[in-house]
Structure 1
Amino acid sequence: MTGLQAFTVGTTALHDLDPYRFPAARLGEDLPEPASAALGGTDVDGDYPLPAPDPASRLSIPLEPADRRRLELHAALTTAGIAPMPGDLDAIAVLCRLDDSTHAALQRWIHHFA
């Protein structure tokens, strides 16, 4: 085969696309849920839904303040649509060692400018 090959854009080509790699290929389609998955059993692929977590089985280990602030900072950045670069993790660790009032101001700035 020589030259460029044109890809078909018909409906059969859209059905052949992997929905995990190309999520837009399945938009607009109302695919029925497999009956066994709707009943809580395994679906066609042998996968099954996970049960809801039991609050009584949670560990009662409190987070360190720096760990709590790190999680809150990551959540604030994610909510604002800011993806930290790999080199930013050291800066995030340093920022999370600051006190709660400084951390609250940092989150306020993120939410204000996002």
Structure 2
Amino acid sequence: MTALQTFTTVPTALSDLDPYRFPAMFDHDLPEEPRTAHGDMDMDSGDYTLPAPAPASRLPLPLEPEDRRRLDLHAALTTAGIAPLPGDLAAIEALCRLDDATHIALQRWITRIV
């Protein structure tokens, strides 16, 4: 066969398309799977997504300002891609004892938000 072959039949509807070559075409036709108590399963990775926490089931334990600053500082360092070394924990403790205005400036410096 040396010439370009043309096909005489063309798909006339979405149902004529091959589901193995076009798998996304038929996703809307699938029945929705029931949710489990653990959430939905991600078929690609095999992990379950956790359901959103119920606000009524949370414990009413307020964080101390120093603990909140420590969590915020660790979150800012993680977001910036900076992993604190074990020897840095004393410095983090000292920084968390500072006031809120200083801590906000520190987070701004870490995340480079102006």
TM-score normalised by the chain length of structure 2: 0.55
Query: Counterpart amino acid of 1:67?
Result: D
Pairwise CA RMSD of aligned residues?
A: 2.6
The residue that corresponds to 1:91 in the other structure is 91
TM-score normalised by the chain length of structure 1: 0.55
Unpaired runs of 5+ in structure 2? 1-32, 42-46
1:39 Cα deviation after fit: 4.1
Which whole-Å deviations, capped at 9, do the CAs of 1:80-108 have from their partners, x for residues lacking one?
Answer: 00000011011101100000011011111
Structure 2: distance between partners of 1:67 and 1:94: 12
Question: What is the SS of the residue equivalent to 1:84?
Answer: coil
Query: Counterpart amino acid of 1:52?
Result: A
Does residue 111 of structure 1 match 2:111?
yes
The residue that corresponds to 1:77 in the other structure is 77
Unpaired runs of 5+ in structure 1? 1-37
1:40 Cα deviation after fit: 4.2
Assess, with a 3 A threshold, how the Cα gap between structure 1 residues 76 and 111 changes in structure 2: closer, same or farther: same
1:52 Cα deviation after fit: 3.4
Conserved 8 A contact 1:69-1:96: yes
Structure 2: distance between partners of 1:109 and 1:51: 34
The number of residue pairs the alignment matches comes to 74
Q: 1:1-114 alignment to 2 at 5 Å?
A: 39-40=34-35, 50-112=50-112
Assess, with a 3 A threshold, how the Cα gap between structure 1 residues 49 and 79 changes in structure 2: closer, same or farther: closer
The residue that corresponds to 1:10 in the other structure is none
1:50 Cα deviation after fit: 4.6
Q: Identity of paired residues, percent?
A: 71
Conserved 8 A contact 1:40-1:48: no
The residue that corresponds to 1:12 in the other structure is none
Structure exhibiting the larger radius of gyration computed from Cα positions: 2
Q: Which runs of 4+ in 1 moved over 2 A?
A: 38-43, 47-52
The residue that corresponds to 2:29 in the other structure is none
